[in-house]
Structure 1
Amino acid sequence: MPANRPLDPKLTSLLENLRGRVRRYVVWDSALAIAAVILAAFWIGLALDYLPVQLGGTEMPRLARMLLLAVVAAVVIAITALMLVGRLRRPLPDDSLALLVERHHPTLGGRLVTAVQLSRPRREGDSHSAALLNHVHREAAAEIDKVDPGKVFRWQPLVRKAMVAGPLAILSLGLLIISPSSFARAASRLTLLSDEPWPRRAHLEMVGVELPIVTAVESDISAPKLIEFNDAKTVRLPRGSNPTLRIRADAETSELPIVCIVYYHTDGGTRGQSNMRRVGRITDGYQSFVLDGPPLTGLSESMTLDVRGLDDRLDDFRIEAITPPALTEMKVSVRYADYLRGEGSGDVDLETDYQSGLRISEGSQVTMVATSSEPLGDTEVVLKTVTDKPQPFTLAYSDDRRQLRLTMDNFDAATTVSLVPADADGISAQAPYRYFLGVVLDQPPELEMRLSGIGSAVTPIARIPVTATVVDDYGVERLTISVTPSKGEDAEAGADDTEAAGSKTASVSPKLSRDGEAKTELDLRDLVADGSLPELVPGGAINVIGEASDLYDLAGKHLTRGEVFRLEVVTPEQLLARLERNELALRSRLEQTIDETRNLRETLNLLRRGFNEDESNLDETEQTRQQQIRRLRTQQSGLQASKTSEELSGIAESLDDILREMVNNRVDSLDRQERIGEGVRDPLRLIVNEPLARLRDQIIDIERSVNDSADAMAKTTVSIETADEVIARLTEVLDKMLDLESYNEILDIVRELIEDQDELLKDTKDERKKRVLNLFD
């Protein structure tokens, strides 16, 4: 077997050169691929990060940039591992390189491969001659100068990669030269070295949310409260509120947007946009924009807001709608004032749910307990009374802060309680809760007093019957009826007359019934006899006054004075003269009543003649008219009969008052009582109850039968007879009153004679005194 000879140096040089060129090819191919990937990722990332800004969007978030950087790093590592390191680590044997060269140079005819393989050291098992091997070496070495190693490589991959990396590199270099700051910002953002945003033409700043302040005072109009977004770009606002979103735009160093748009997305899935309006002028270099309409009007759900103005954006600002505390229940407990409480009363006299129109007694201790849907923070409480007088109160909370207890110790005026509940974070109700509590003021007693059987004058020995009725909310403590001498005719009647006269006052305190009624009698004779009153002289006067007080003890006492009855003190003769004048007036009234009764009788007579007329020749319309006229006359007759009855009853009552006044003044006589009572009063009452009442019923029957002329005429005839009876009996009574008047005239003559005699005796005594005095002159 021949020995292997070493490879020709030319062939060795060719193979080593080819091996080096292959490795450089691999390096350039990998480098260009890595550069293309990095540059492409740079420009793609720059486009994704910057172009949205120009379109009004925002930069790529850090997570997206981190994902892009991770992808680029993974691709570069893959290229380095597979295309560079992996291919460089592969062995390049000489025979493989020779085969590669002969593939692209067919003229070698396999000589280079044969020479390389047969010259391999420690090759065994070959059967060839040394001369043949030397001949192959010479032929291969002779052809080696014709070999072009460049034909071995495919340059298209490198060109394609260079066509991608080259322009991108030129663009990157241009960006670096033209705007180094932009290149540096892009590189730092894409490599996560910085999150500084791209510069904008416009510059927007979030100011915050203005929220109207809800107060418990109706007239209090406060400036809205500005709530700034926290670090998480979040504000908490009450549901139902009407907040105003406020931003501002830099008007000095940046371009001022014409309009700013708010894009919102509610938690309920509603999306939309609203334009903000420009407010005011540029102040301190900033222009303000506000949004005070939808979706913020009547805030009902949470939402996320983005604000856009030109190329600047304010993103991911969140408004959380929080349900404010609500007063779900209001209870009122009342403890009445001590003077209204009975023995054994508990701590609470009244406990009820609040209801409109609730009224509470004056002086009570009122406790209002409000239950809230949420734990309460500070609650604004305002109490306003109708008198504008401050109403003191105390405020307390339960341990779990779900109940509020408001206590008013002395409730004395109608009060409006206004509450604005708020939670621990200051989220308050958007309208005050108002509760109106009326007050039942303890009114002074109402006193009504009457003097029975007493006129405007009394004798010094008269009895004064007094009837009093006292009404009070919660009971009367005391009723006092007093009689006080007055100065006389020149003194004015009134409550101060007692003090002015400096006289004694006689008082009685009658016991009241359950209905608040009391009856008593002031006997002037007895009061003078026991020294309660000074001696009463005719020509003077007395005042009868009633006073009533109740149990009220909150602010002074309630004292009610009734009507002051001023009574002249007269002699019995003067009193009788007054009563006689009253009788004369009653006689005139009786005469007038008799005349009216006669007119009534004439009306009935005229009505009877109307019923007797023949109406057969009248048409239906005229007959109807005649019937209406008769019905009207009948009704007028009935009214006149009723009036006569009432007038006679009034005369009888007046006569009864005269009799009682005579009895109470102790000037009564049996003859006078019989003449007035049995002769006039009782007959008048009998006329009212019998013939006059019968006449009224008969007139009613006539009205019912007005359409039946025959029946109506018969009933009218009966009523005329009854009217004649009434007139006759009234005439008898009038005659008795005339007789009584004649008797009274005789008494007047006697009284005048007595007065003349008294005057003569007085003059005689005065003359005697003068004569005696003249004897000493």
Structure 2
Amino acid sequence: MPANRTLDPKLASLLENLRGRVRRYIVWDSVLAIAAVILAAFWIGLAIDYLPVQLGGTEMPRLARMLLLSVVAVAVIVIAAMMLIGRLRRPLPDDSLALLVERQHPSLGGRLVTAVQLNRPGRDGDSHSPDLLNHVHREAASAIDKVDPGKVFRWQPLARKAMIVGPLALMAIVFLAISPQSFARAASRLTLFSDEPWPRRAHLEMVGIELPIVSADDVQVAPPALLTFDDQRTIRLPRGSSPMLRIRADAETAELPIVCTVYYRTDGGTRGQSNMRRVGRVSNGFQSFVLDGPPLSGLSESMTFDVRGLDDRLDDFRIETITPPALTEMKVSVRYADYLRGPGSSEVDLETDYQSGLRISEGSDVTMLAKSSVPIGETQVILKSAVGEPKQGDLSYSDDRRELRLRIDDFDAATTVSLVPADADGISAQAPYRYFLGVVLDEPPELQMRLAGIGNAVTAIAKIPVQAVVVDDYGVEQLTISVTPSAEATDESDEENPEDETGDAPDDEKPNADDNAPQSASVQPRLDREGNASAELDLRDWSSEGRLPELIPGGAISVIGEASDRYDLAERHLTRSEVFRLEIVTPEDLLARLERRELGLRARLEQTIDETRNLRDTLNLLRRGFDDVVEPDPEPDAASLEPDAADAAATAAKAARDKQEAAVEQTRQKQVRRLRTQQSGLQANKTAEELSGIATSLDDLLMEMVNNRVDSVDRQERIGEGVRDPLRAIVDDPLTRLRQQIVDIERSVDDSALATEKTALAVDTADDVLLQLIAVLDKMLDLESYNEILDIVRELIDDQGKLLDDTKSERKKRVLNLFD
């Protein structure tokens, strides 16, 4: 057989046609696969991007869209490289195509493969018969008309891909026809990474957060501040605050949500949701919604939150909590007022930590030094004083602004200091720091003054002992005791001018109207450490020295004390004592008054003697009561009882009743005796106090005599040694013994014999007291008789004086009659 053989044209055309069909199959299969991937990715991306919007979510973020497009691009490249280019580049030899046809047409019996392979150009060395090859060739060519090339391909893969691509493509065409804008938005978002959102039924807008303004002033409440989110949708709020989130919904061009919900996630991992409440009505086309409860009330940690209303959503808003500045320490430095500071004092008199109830002296300069946990920006300061207008303080900061210094000058009233520190970003403390500073006011001195041994009337030559007690917080500067004659007495003194026998006063001796003002004299006694002072006002010496005008009987003087301290912040503190008004009398008139007081004391002594006599009688009756004690009847003898049982029982019952009544009567008698004993003790105590009072009053009489310089040794002996000293001796000895005996009687009431003995001793002691009191009373009666004689002598002297005055007047009349 020749070396070069040619294949039958029918067979060659069959193989060439089959080769073209294979390549077209590969192209369609690859194109359908690529279209399926693209369309599936489009619809999947559209669903992921749009369906969450319908459910209240947000669109697919750009990163996710980029990732989806990258996956689709990689898939298309892989499909094109492997399914299209890779398969198209593979060779399709005739024998492979013939073998593919032989598999689908077994009737050929291998003739086509044999003919193709043995007739391939350049084939040598085959050992076969040429005739046989020609015969096979002819049979293959004759059977080729029965060959169907379509049976070679599997159409199921193309059909499956077409079933995917067809509906997806049809849906895309319908989507494009119905809503070109939505299709274009979807294509731009998925392929061009456009951030234009999908249209929504509702439209929400973030307004911001209203934060209450913490003010140091409780009276004026500042409106809350509206804070807006920055470009990163972040806002910084103080920890512990209670802000209010505010949004608004478009009510004109969009559907109004019924409720808006906040979904939050704290940095601590807590998740939750809270519904916002609608506020008011639609205004300017918008409806407001606010959230003022959890998780914003008492904000404690940072969080991220989203707001959803219908299908609109506000995403990725963040609240960062910042610890507000806190005042960790407060120190108070005080510099006292100048009048309270001694020589050589330091600049700071008191430095202490602030504590509740801290009180500061009036007029001090106060400096408050506070330390903050963070650097301070601006601090709001309010000083609210208990009285007057609010004070102003001088506020300054340290270089690192971690300390603030508040200076208050001339501290004069209780003050509440309110501080609201804020950091550099304006984050302020959520409650004002309040410090209350009390004030220790410098009170005026307390002055108590009394006249020792002086009554309501004095002579013109008297000496007045004065005792004073002055108490002040920071010491007394001066105590002044003044004596001022009354204006009436001065006028009367000025009107008494020397007259000649004609009754005319010389011109140069007429009183001057400018000299009518009363002249006063004063003394400044020294005070000891306890504030006690004593002084003696000698009217005789002061009059002789010209410090006081001549004191005329019938006038009066006023004694008053004035005490002042070193207070110099405002009006000086001056305290005046009680005004002691003393009448100026003659020695005789003073003695007459003292004698009338002595008569009053005698009446008191007579009453005391009567009470002592009654006490003696009461004790005597008490002694008799102890002698008449009722003893219970003895129990009847058993042998005297009647043998009858009923009579015996009645007799026993009667005896028991009698015994019980006797015991009750005995108890009552003891109670009555004890009561009478206690009354006697009270009467004895009263008698002792009354006698001590009479002795003290007599002592005052003697002191008044001495101080008024009308005293005599005989009078002092008669009153002092004859009355006062015996009274005190009675109180010290027999009366004291009587009181103790009465106490002993009370203790021995239950023992009749012992009580009777002690009562008898008490009666004897009472008789002794009574006898001594009667003796003192007789002494006072003798003094009264002596005083009556003195009164007669005074009346004679007064009558003699009046007679002399009448004689002088008669002489003047006779001289005047000579000139008529």
Q: TM-score, normalised by structure 1?
A: 0.94
Counterpart of 2:643 in structure 1 is none
Which residue type is aligned with residue 426 of structure 2? G
Between the aligned partners of 1:100 and 1:367, the Cα distance in structure 2 is 108
Between the aligned partners of 2:329 and 2:92, the Cα distance in structure 1 is 94
Counterpart of 1:297 in structure 2 is 297
Counterpart of 1:522 in structure 2 is 537
Counterpart of 1:495 in structure 2 is none
1:165–1:149 distance in 2 versus 1, CA, 3 Å: same
Is 1:605 aligned to 2:605, yes or no? no
1:501–1:207 distance in 2 versus 1, CA, 3 Å: farther
Q: Which runs of 5+ in 1 are unaligned?
A: 492-498
Which residue type is aligned with residue 605 of structure 2? L
Is 1:506 aligned to 2:511, yes or no? no
Matches within 5 A, 1:227-306: 227-306=227-306
Matches within 5 A, 1:382-401: 382-401=382-401
Instruction: Work out which of the residue numbers 592, 598, 603 in structure 2 matches 1:577.
Output: 592
Pick which of 355-364 and 115-124 moved more: 115-124
Between the aligned partners of 2:400 and 2:769, the Cα distance in structure 1 is 89
How far the C-alpha of 1:210 sits from its partner, in A, is 2.1
How far the C-alpha of 1:139 sits from its partner, in A, is 4.5
Counterpart of 2:335 in structure 1 is 335
How far the C-alpha of 1:663 sits from its partner, in A, is 0.9
Deviations 1:714-737 (A, max 9, x none): 212211221222222112212222
Partner secondary structure for residue 474 of structure 1: coil
Between the aligned partners of 1:236 and 1:599, the Cα distance in structure 2 is 96
Q: Quick check: 1:4–1:118 contact (8 Å CA) kept in 2?
A: no
How far the C-alpha of 1:461 sits from its partner, in A, is 0.9
How far the C-alpha of 1:107 sits from its partner, in A, is 4.0
How far the C-alpha of 1:360 sits from its partner, in A, is 1.2
Deviations 1:287-312 (A, max 9, x none): 22222222222222222222222222
Is 1:743 aligned to 2:786, yes or no? yes
Partner secondary structure for residue 401 of structure 1: coil
Instruction: Work out which of the residue numbers 601, 618, 633 in structure 2 matches 1:586.
Output: 601
Between the aligned partners of 1:287 and 1:620, the Cα distance in structure 2 is 99
Deviations 1:139-161 (A, max 9, x none): 44444443332222111111000
Q: Which runs of 5+ in 2 are unaligned?
A: 492-513, 633-660
Is 1:643 aligned to 2:686, yes or no? yes
1:612–1:297 distance in 2 versus 1, CA, 3 Å: farther
Pick which of 24-33 and 709-718 moved more: 709-718
Counterpart of 1:496 in structure 2 is none
Matches within 5 A, 1:349-388: 349-388=349-388
How far the C-alpha of 1:33 sits from its partner, in A, is 0.7
Between the aligned partners of 1:308 and 1:627, the Cα distance in structure 2 is 98
Q: Quick check: 1:30–1:80 contact (8 Å CA) kept in 2?
A: yes
Pick which of 119-128 and 425-434 moved more: 119-128
Between the aligned partners of 2:515 and 2:813, the Cα distance in structure 1 is 38
1:626–1:294 distance in 2 versus 1, CA, 3 Å: farther
1:622–1:222 distance in 2 versus 1, CA, 3 Å: farther
Counterpart of 1:212 in structure 2 is 212
Counterpart of 1:673 in structure 2 is 716
Q: Quick check: 2:336–2:349 contact (8 Å CA) kept in 1?
A: yes
Which residue type is aligned with residue 560 of structure 2? I
Between the aligned partners of 1:671 and 1:663, the Cα distance in structure 2 is 13
Q: Identity of aligned pairs, percent? A: 77
Partner secondary structure for residue 334 of structure 2: strand
1:163–1:404 distance in 2 versus 1, CA, 3 Å: same
Q: Quick check: 1:488–1:539 contact (8 Å CA) kept in 2?
A: no
Q: Quick check: 2:66–2:193 contact (8 Å CA) kept in 1?
A: no
Pick which of 383-392 and 717-726 moved more: 383-392
Between the aligned partners of 1:285 and 1:604, the Cα distance in structure 2 is 109
Which residue type is aligned with residue 536 of structure 1? L
1:315–1:740 distance in 2 versus 1, CA, 3 Å: same
Counterpart of 1:158 in structure 2 is 158
Is 1:310 aligned to 2:310, yes or no? yes
Is 1:34 aligned to 2:34, yes or no? yes
Pick which of 120-129 and 598-607 moved more: 120-129
Q: Quick check: 1:66–1:192 contact (8 Å CA) kept in 2?
A: no
Matches within 5 A, 1:457-472: 457-472=457-472
Between the aligned partners of 1:501 and 1:291, the Cα distance in structure 2 is 87
Counterpart of 1:61 in structure 2 is 61
Is 1:539 aligned to 2:551, yes or no? no
Matches within 5 A, 1:144-183: 144-183=144-183
Q: Quick check: 1:65–1:192 contact (8 Å CA) kept in 2?
A: no
Counterpart of 1:224 in structure 2 is 224
1:380–1:628 distance in 2 versus 1, CA, 3 Å: farther
1:433–1:619 distance in 2 versus 1, CA, 3 Å: farther
Pick which of 215-224 and 481-490 moved more: 481-490
Between the aligned partners of 2:79 and 2:687, the Cα distance in structure 1 is 135
Counterpart of 2:657 in structure 1 is none
Deviations 1:382-403 (A, max 9, x none): 1111113332321122222222
Q: Quick check: 1:211–1:244 contact (8 Å CA) kept in 2?
A: yes
Between the aligned partners of 2:584 and 2:436, the Cα distance in structure 1 is 56
Partner secondary structure for residue 743 of structure 1: helix
Partner secondary structure for residue 650 of structure 1: helix
How far the C-alpha of 1:89 sits from its partner, in A, is 1.3
1:500–1:245 distance in 2 versus 1, CA, 3 Å: farther
Deviations 1:361-397 (A, max 9, x none): 1122212111222222212221111113332321122
Between the aligned partners of 1:230 and 1:631, the Cα distance in structure 2 is 97
How far the C-alpha of 1:531 sits from its partner, in A, is 1.2
Which residue type is aligned with residue 730 of structure 2? I
Between the aligned partners of 1:275 and 1:698, the Cα distance in structure 2 is 94
1:709–1:227 distance in 2 versus 1, CA, 3 Å: farther
Equivalenced residues, count: 770
How far the C-alpha of 1:352 sits from its partner, in A, is 1.4
Which residue type is aligned with residue 406 of structure 2? L
How far the C-alpha of 1:131 sits from its partner, in A, is 6.1
Partner secondary structure for residue 485 of structure 2: strand
Matches within 5 A, 1:108-119: 108-119=108-119
Which residue type is aligned with residue 507 of structure 1? S
Between the aligned partners of 2:673 and 2:321, the Cα distance in structure 1 is 84
Counterpart of 1:15 in structure 2 is 15
Counterpart of 1:494 in structure 2 is none
How far the C-alpha of 1:584 sits from its partner, in A, is 1.5
Counterpart of 1:430 in structure 2 is 430
Which residue type is aligned with residue 103 of structure 2? R
Partner secondary structure for residue 753 of structure 2: helix
Is 1:707 aligned to 2:750, yes or no? yes
How far the C-alpha of 1:426 sits from its partner, in A, is 2.0
Counterpart of 2:503 in structure 1 is none
Which residue type is aligned with residue 413 of structure 1? A
Between the aligned partners of 2:664 and 2:178, the Cα distance in structure 1 is 119
Which residue type is aligned with residue 808 of structure 2? K
Q: Quick check: 2:384–2:390 contact (8 Å CA) kept in 1?
A: yes
Between the aligned partners of 1:548 and 1:685, the Cα distance in structure 2 is 38
How far the C-alpha of 1:656 sits from its partner, in A, is 0.9
1:501–1:246 distance in 2 versus 1, CA, 3 Å: farther
How far the C-alpha of 1:427 sits from its partner, in A, is 2.0
Between the aligned partners of 1:340 and 1:570, the Cα distance in structure 2 is 47
Q: Quick check: 2:62–2:193 contact (8 Å CA) kept in 1?
A: no
Q: Quick check: 1:304–1:318 contact (8 Å CA) kept in 2?
A: yes
Counterpart of 2:650 in structure 1 is none
Partner secondary structure for residue 488 of structure 2: coil
Matches within 5 A, 1:49-88: 49-88=49-88
Between the aligned partners of 1:699 and 1:595, the Cα distance in structure 2 is 19
Between the aligned partners of 2:68 and 2:670, the Cα distance in structure 1 is 115
1:490–1:632 distance in 2 versus 1, CA, 3 Å: farther
Instruction: Work out which of the residue numbers 719, 725, 728 in structure 1 matches 2:768.
Output: 725
Between the aligned partners of 1:185 and 1:752, the Cα distance in structure 2 is 140
Pick which of 114-123 and 568-577 moved more: 114-123
Partner secondary structure for residue 488 of structure 1: helix
Q: Quick check: 2:479–2:564 contact (8 Å CA) kept in 1?
A: yes
Q: Quick check: 2:734–2:765 contact (8 Å CA) kept in 1?
A: yes
Counterpart of 1:45 in structure 2 is 45
1:257–1:737 distance in 2 versus 1, CA, 3 Å: same
Q: Quick check: 1:302–1:319 contact (8 Å CA) kept in 2?
A: yes
Partner secondary structure for residue 468 of structure 2: strand
